[in-house]
Structure 1
């Protein structure tokens, strides 16, 4: 057992404590070259977020010197060097202010202000960000205290991701979105705090000497403060992680509802919007040519319970004349380049897919109940009542050489109507 413990002994390969502290202190200050490097890294990260390039963002994180004052604060807490703590805090404040200013100016001047996925990913922190910051910080400080620094340092710079949240906060200020700014600053604060805490723990574990004597009352006060800060950071993060999980479940359940109740029946969906964070959850839908009666909508509302969507309101928008703007707005969220031509193409694709009968279970049941019916074809057909009025009908055609009584055909037609929950079903013999 003792031999196994020795494998995890952090004192093996440890550098001299004085050299480590000297190295940490030298990386705290933001003067001259360090400040220029930081400003350039912020511009590079902002460009990467602006064009949605992960590679460019990673490059910016690799050259960023932001870790210095955060690690310095952790060492200061671990060694009770309050002068070092003040210096670290002051330089971190300077670095943060400069980073926000540079990113704010970049996004203010940039002609491209769409919120890309890389930007949006930094606006909603959760418990996983806490874990990444904490364990990334552990790796970083362990590497700093080694004689051979090795490869972990660049990896820690990427994993802890201090630059992107700051740039996102600057973006939020530039476009006047305080929600983006608040979420990004909170993520940045989480990263800074837990890197600092992990550094503090390793410094205590490696038994770095105290700079000066501190009475036990003051030491207890510091411990209580750190514990309180951890709780303050963890509780909102757990709540955010839980909320994110619930939202993902809601989206999955909505997708299952739409797939089973509409897509599998050949209805062409042209508009979909969900409201999860409202007091009453809502699903808004609109279809290309299907019109639902009040009884059908009530039936669909009742079926939401079977998809664990109790308390969700279903809204089917049937006046498509006012949907054009909403459709454009929804598509703009997912695409940089959107036009009416793109919408027309997508609608045509959806319409063509509507003529394909996708319910394989129903086809298997037809084959089992009516083995003599094969070969047969089944699909959707548009029936025009007037040039401006139409509806979809499921049509099953069986081979012209087969002879089935009217009773058998009626029975199959009735069964399909019940199975597909549709009154528009036609079973007939093919002409050839």
Structure 2
């Protein structure tokens, strides 16, 4: 084969490969009619009647889940929440230049957010459990992962919504993007008069909402959904101008905020790595560490316990902070026994550490006690059952003189495992026949509901 023919063949194979890949990733395959999809999104925008009551009950369920620190309950609340509707409606409206849909979506989203925060605030104002659990604290500050989840989740949601056959992707997006818990956390912050919790949680909800709307907008534009037509060209241009201004005013600050989240996340990861790799000493231990990004300068605060580090070692660590590229960052080290150390902080950190360790030990002991109590209850049950079975066995076998029933541990020497075995001991005045022995053994298995019973005859 000549070189031009070989090159042409390779080119054709490459083109076929590209066409195959394009066909695999074609979003128009199985796509619902655009007008049907727009109507589907439009219907889910409205918040009144049943939708509003569902939202209230979902918020209460999520609040209870955050209150008792139950992940399963929170997931259930997110599944029944209708919050995705107006958020996707905003992105759809921006994509097809539908100013009326945009206003409806914003209005309904505002109503939903107000009702959600009000409901959760009322709940947290009256609940007797007022401690902030880990599930609640996790919603007080967005991270880079929250931004990515909202973006990719929104893309999955609008693509699933544009299909003829609706999948379970939209409920999955509602769970992944976690719109409900931040609003409940904002309500908790309002009820406890904690502005940090309120603003942090609302910030997380805002970031999630904007990036879900942005994902919807991008897919709608990419798939070339039909834009709303206007009889008046001037009105069309005016609407397009309003949509453009709204989009810019929403997206630009959100991208800036998201960039800030990314920078903060990288700084915190770098700070954690620094502590893990550099703060290693033979007779000194890191008791706790705290990272404060939003301060001037930023602070890496370390509490040490053990042998006091020399000033030279501390200065060396501070130099390493500068060398490793920490911008505008100060290293603060508190040592037990050193001058200027806030002993109250160290004391509280030590007590906290001891409490957490003791709590873990208590939990392990509680588990062991529960297992032992179950074993004791099992043995008591077997002992009580043994007396009943002995009386019944005497009726079937008059020559039975003594009988006992118990569970024993059996060690398997080959597999090096242990198991429990039900053992019955029977003593007769007259040795029973083989048929009577089999009859007794079969009856014991049925009576005790055990697959295996070891029968010892005397």
**Shorter-chain TM-score: which interval?**
0.5 to 0.7
Structure 1 residues 199 and 276, CA, compared in 2 at 3 Å: closer, same or farther?
A: closer
- 2:136 pairs with 112, 119, 127, which one? 119
- 1:298 pairs with 304, 307, 311, which one? 311
CA distance in 2 between counterparts of 1:187 and 1:286 reads 33
Normalising to structure 2: TM-score of the pair? 0.64
Are 1:287 and 2:305 an aligned pair?
yes
CA distance in 2 between counterparts of 1:2 and 1:305 reads 57
Deviation per CA, 1:334-380: give whole Å up to 9, x if none: 89xx49976999xxxxxxxxxxxxxxxxxxxxxxxxxxxxxxxxxxx
Listed as ranges, the gaps of 5+ residues in structure 2 are 1-17, 324-329, 363-458
In the other structure, the counterpart of 2:257 is 236
- 1:222 pairs with 238, 243, 251, which one? 243
Alpha-carbon contact 1:284-1:317 (below 8 Å) kept: no
In the other structure, the counterpart of 2:332 is 313
Deviation per CA, 1:366-411: give whole Å up to 9, x if none: xxxxxxxxxxxxxxxxxxxxxxxxxxxxxxxxxxxxxxxxxxxxxx
In the other structure, the counterpart of 1:387 is none
Structure 1 residues 105 and 331, CA, compared in 2 at 3 Å: closer, same or farther?
A: farther
In the other structure, the counterpart of 1:408 is none
1:128-147 to 2 correspondence within 5 Å?
A: 128-147=145-164
Deviation per CA, 1:80-101: give whole Å up to 9, x if none: 2222222211111111001001
Are 1:149 and 2:166 an aligned pair?
yes
CA distance in 2 between counterparts of 1:5 and 1:255 reads 46
Structure 1 residues 117 and 341, CA, compared in 2 at 3 Å: closer, same or farther?
A: closer
Deviation per CA, 1:20-43: give whole Å up to 9, x if none: 233222222222211111111111
1:180-259 to 2 correspondence within 5 Å?
A: 180-213=197-230, 215-216=236-237, 218-219=239-240, 222-223=243-244, 225-258=246-279
CA distance in 2 between counterparts of 1:153 and 1:99 reads 20
Listed as ranges, the gaps of 5+ residues in structure 1 are 346-432
Normalising to structure 1: TM-score of the pair? 0.68
> How many residues were matched structurally?
332
CA positional deviation for 1:225? 4.0
CA positional deviation for 1:130? 2.4
In the other structure, the counterpart of 2:195 is 178
1:330-409 to 2 correspondence within 5 Å?
A: 338=355
RMSD in angstroms over aligned alpha carbons?
Answer: 3.2
Are 1:79 and 2:96 an aligned pair?
yes
CA positional deviation for 1:79? 2.5
CA distance in 2 between counterparts of 1:77 and 1:239 reads 25
Alpha-carbon contact 1:45-1:163 (below 8 Å) kept: yes
CA distance in 2 between counterparts of 1:210 and 1:36 reads 33
CA positional deviation for 1:323? 4.1
